[in-house]
Amino acid sequence: MPDTHGYIFADEHDRSAERFRALSELYDASTTGYIERLGLARGCACLEIGAGGGSIARWLAALVSPGRVVATDRDMPAFDVSGLANLELLGHDIAVESLPAATFDFVHARLVLMHLPEPELAVSRMVRALRPGGRVLLEEFDVPPLTSEAAWDGGATTLRTSVAFRAAMERSGVDMQCGRRLPGMMRAHRVVSIGGQGRMSLWTGHSAGAHLMRSNYVGLKERMIDDGLILAADFDADLARLDDPEFVAVSPTMWSVWGRLP
Ligand SMILES: C[S@@+](CC[C@H](N)C(=O)[O-])C[C@H]1O[C@@H](n2cnc3c(N)ncnc32)[C@H](O)[C@@H]1O
């Protein structure tokens, strides 16, 4: 039965720092590049939903200062905001709580919607929070169904644990193909001038991609083994490969989709 009560990694405070560090290393350069191209002016009011480790919220606060940035997360965000008087932290659950209407010039969320039972509702809340002409950038993974140990031309491997992890996420109600649904969800809420880009990379052993895989897999280890999705010995062997410099995996596709209100 899908677990729709909350974020699948909610209880993993010890591993979330590693996850946020890896996500920042993997994706901040492209996220900030997309935001720069949207042409936000100084003084803009911005909203960062599900801010995680806060790297994008801090970058935005410096970009639009003295404009204000509100960074939310389902628990009160706890990252360092020193030196950024225009950055406000807010405990806010986008799945159930509304946002002030027509207040922001820009809203961004990365890897949040895939975890929500009703992502369309969250998109409608985010878009309603925008002023006329406001911009939105939504970024989500797309992981097509996987086949274990499928070797790709360059030698990239799909670990058995990757297959098990995808299945465990889906069983828990996470939408592993959320990325491809972003344009439709945005269009349904009056967003126009929609554009987007999907990005894949090779994740080698001991890289930020391998660190992300490790923190995610370790987080769901018991669940995957208890549900018979992976044997403990196979799990341990796969995790060891994440430290092997010869190891190569293909990343999920990260879809970054932008648009604006009329
Ligand atoms: C995979 S992390 C991504 C963090 C950050 N956006 C990034 O890309 O580095 C997902 C984040 O969404 C937050 N989150 C999950 N469900 C949420 C909800 N219902 N409302 C607000 N934030 C939520 C989590 O607490 C976590 O910080």
pLDDT in the model for residue 3 = 41
CATH class as words, domain 16-260: alpha beta
Task: Delimit the domains of the chain by residue range.
Answer: 16-260
For residue 69, pLDDT over 90 is answered with: yes
How far, in Å, is the centroid of ligand 1 from the Cα of 41?
26
* pTM of the entire predicted model: 0.95
For residue 226, pLDDT over 60 is answered with: yes
Report the percentage of the chain scoring pLDDT > 70: 94
Rounded Cα gap, residues 158 and 180, in angstroms: 21
Task: Report which protein residue has its CA nearest ligand 1's atom 1.
Answer: 111
**pLDDT band with cut points at 50, 70 and 90 for residue 1:** very low
Task: Report which protein residue has its CA nearest ligand 1's atom 10.
Answer: 112
pLDDT in the model for residue 152 = 57
Report the percentage of the chain scoring pLDDT > 90: 85
Segment 12-56, tens digit of pLDDT? 766 789 999 999 999 999 999 999 999 999 999 999 999 999 999
pLDDT, average across residues 215-231: 96
Segment 134-184, tens digit of pLDDT? 999 999 999 988 776 655 555 788 999 999 999 999 999 999 999 999 999
User: Which atom of ligand 1 is nearest to 31's Cα?
Assistant: 8
Give per-residue burial for 72-108: e unless 16+ CB within 10 Å, then b. Answer: bbbeebebebeebebbebbebebbeeebeeebbbbbb
> Which residue bears the tokens 């806010």?
92
Rounded Cα gap, residues 249 and 242, in angstroms: 9
For residue 82, pLDDT over 90 is answered with: yes
Task: Report which protein residue has its CA nearest ligand 1's atom 4.
Answer: 52
User: Which atom of ligand 1 is nearest to 23's Cα?
Assistant: 9
How far, in Å, is the centroid of ligand 1 from the Cα of 51?
6
User: Which atom of ligand 1 is nearest to 20's Cα?
Assistant: 9
Segment 7-21, tens digit of pLDDT? 888 877 667 899 999
pLDDT in the model for residue 7 = 85
Task: Report which protein residue has its CA nearest ligand 1's atom 12.
Answer: 50
Task: Spell out which residues line ligand 1, taking CB within 6 angstroms.
Answer: 7, 20, 23, 50-53, 72-74, 93-95, 110-112, 115-116
Residue-averaged pLDDT of the chain: 93
